[in-house]
Chain A
Amino acid sequence: MNLGLQASQQKLLRTSVQGILRYGVLIVLGTLFIVPFYWMVITSFKTPGQAYLFPPTWIPNPISIDAYRLLWGTTIPFNLFIRNTIFIVIFSVIGNLLSSTLVAFAFARLTWWGRNFWFIVLLATLMLPYQVIMIPVYVIFRQLGWLDTYLPLIVPTFLGNAFYIFLIRQFFLTIPKDLEDAARVDGASSLHILWRIFVPNSMPVLLTVMLFAFVASWNDFFGPLLYLRKLEQMTVSVGLSMFAGYRSPNWPAITAASTLSILPTVVLFVLFQRYFVKGIVLTGMKG
């Protein structure tokens, strides 16, 4: 009896030590993960003079919004970059949602010759490195005269995205068949069934796809880098890389631009954490 008590006490001690250790490590690592963000934000509120102090200060004094003002000026039209990016993002989110939902429905619920074959092909395209097709795709857009327009960034989103199709299909498969059968008996068309039954019942996955499409389009760097060359067309990411590449970088302004460029995605993540997590766990894709 005595022995048993000792053993349980030992176990209690061990778990509480483990708990303290766990939280200690978490706090240290968590701080290390947050500090870069903190550093970015406080640098953006410093004056250039303050940013180049050694040792650096942890709290800007005075708090200056000059850097943000600079971004709204004419030398670096960052406000314009934001507007351009929002324009592209809106279309690409709509495009991805529409096309991927349609195609996912075909893979999940319609019976057609070659469906399983095409589904394997769809999954296989996920493994294809983009670099292999990048040059011919560029040549196609060039021949269409689409360079220096947003079309190369928008039009392909209306042709479905393998990741999103896969995600939505998996969700559609879980929707009970009874609902659909009842509607079919009443003579409803497939499009009607998709719109009236599947879409309203799939809001979580559609929200996930919407978030992913938003983040992917907002953060896209390679696309705008290849297809846009005029300053007034630039997007947030290319604009940011451009003016971070200046000879004598103005770090408060650059960190202010970085802060603005990550703000929308971070806010969306904080609001919809659950949906991000679902999507990543299902596909292993980064947001």
Chain B
Amino acid sequence: MGVSETTVSKVSQPSVAVPKRLRIKRRRLLANLEGYLFAAPWLLGFFIFTVGPFFSSIWYSLNQWDMVTSMKFVGFQNYVRLLQNDIFWKSVQVTATYAVMSLPAALTLAMILALLVNKQNPIMMFFRGVFFVPAVTSGVAVAVLWRWLFNPEFGLINYMLSWFGIQGPMWLASEHWALPAMTIMVLWSVGATMLIYLAGLQSVPQHLYEAAEIDGASGFQSFWRVTLPMMSPTIFYTLILGVLGAFQAFTQAYVMTRGGPNFATYFYVYNLYEEAFVKFRMGYASALAWVLFMAVLIMTLIQFKVAGRWVYYEAGE
């Protein structure tokens, strides 16, 4: 790479013998060549590890393949089988429930935290750190740690509940409480969203608040009428990311419950993982991947459509 770059720039020195038009042409060619050379690592990776796999996964999804015997073309059979599969529908239901349960709660908590720490002083810097730290810890460590906290007999959570005379549930061992437990865990990791909201809050023009105050707006009113509308693009952005993330939930199911009890946490991607890398049904798993992709794409498009009604973009932006 280094060698070719230096030769390129040496050649690009105009030589006297070549006519001007040709010189410009050649310089442009070399500039293009240089651009593509610098971008080459990503372009290479893009074609080998994104474009190629993107299309071959369509092909896989139309085949039956266990990676040992040869591929067998089956048309849309994988997709038909998937729609008739109870586990598929269960995983869809679990994932949707999880998204509906955890997203509003997580975004609301992130907003509350951002509002609380939205002041410039060392104490606030400290609290920002406290709320953010769980977000840099590994997903596995978080899941493992919360499995211990949710331990029905010796866990901290049921112990703390016992202070209030509440007999805590079985949490991860209970079909009804496993998903709520994972939602509580997710609330612990909202630090990144909090930071995004904080940046949004700090970019709301101060004069809007001053105007609201002159008009006699209460703190709550100015939040409702100024902060929220001004923050709506940011909230929309985190909502899109949140839906994407919720539909890709995997680690917590793998580490905490193995999809159980009785499929209560059998997330979509957990199902996909089991089909592909435990049962080696690569064709069927690819069909699952494509259905996920389509679902996420459609949900994102719908969100963009609906966004026109509630997301406020300042004129000129």
Contacts and interface: CB of A to CB of B under 8 A. Distances in A.
Interface string B89-118: 000000000000000000000000100110
Interface string B18-59: 000000000000011011101101111110111011101100
Contacts of B6: 189, 191
A245 B258 CA distance: 9
A105 B38 CA distance: 7
A221 B285 contact: no
Contact of B41 (A26, A102, A237): A102
B38 A241 contact: no
A175 interface: no
B2 interface: yes
A257 B5 CA distance: 47
B140 A156 contact: no
Give the dominant DSSP class at B's interface.
helix
B54 A281 contact: no
A72 interface: no
Nearest to B218: A14
B87 to A, nearest CB: 17
Contacts of B211: none
A22 B8 CA distance: 61
Interface string A9-27: 0000000001000110110
B279 to A, nearest CB: 13
3 A-B pairs with the lowest CB-CB distances in the bound complex, closest first? A112-B35, A159-B45, A136-B53
Contact of A54 (B48, B49, B153): B153
B172 interface: no
Interface string B125-144: 10111111111111111011
B48 A140 contact: yes
Contact of A132 (B52, B145, B290): B290
A129 interface: yes
Interface residues of B, number: 94
A19 to B, nearest CB: 10
A197 interface: no
A165 interface: yes
B78 interface: no
B286 interface: yes
B12 to A, nearest CB: 9
Interface stretch (A63-71, A200-208, A261-269): A261-269
A182 interface: no
A53 B151 CA distance: 12
Given A113-B32, A129-B248, A133-B50, A189 B113 contact: no
A233 interface: no
27 contacts: A30-B127, A33-B133, A40-B145, A52-B153, A52-B154, A54-B154, A55-B162, A110-B34, A118-B43, A132-B53, A132-B289, A133-B50, A135-B286, A135-B289, A139-B56, A159-B49, A189-B6, A190-B38, A221-B138, A222-B250, A225-B254, A237-B140, A240-B144, A262-B137, A265-B136, A286-B135, A286-B192
Interface in B122-180: 123, 125, 127-141, 143-149, 151, 153-154, 156, 159, 162
B35 A111 contact: yes
B130 A106 contact: no
A17 B141 CA distance: 39
A286 B245 CA distance: 11
B293 A131 contact: yes
B212 interface: no
Q: How many residues of A sit at the interface, in one of the four size bands?
A: 35 or more
Contacts of B226: none
Interface in A5-63: 18, 22-23, 25-26, 29-30, 33-37, 39-40, 43, 51-56
Given A33-B188, A240-B141, 20 more contacts: A26-B116, A43-B148, A121-B46, A127-B300, A129-B247, A131-B272, A133-B53, A134-B289, A135-B289, A136-B56, A138-B276, A187-B13, A191-B6, A219-B140, A238-B140, A244-B255, A262-B138, A269-B132, A273-B125, A284-B238
Contact of A136 (B46, B57, B153): B57
Contact of A284 (B36, B146, B241): B241
Interface in A200-244: 215, 218-219, 221-222, 225-226, 236-238, 240-241, 244
A185 interface: no
Given A36-B149, A43-B148, A129-B293, A135 B138 contact: no
Interface string B266-290: 0001001000110000100110011
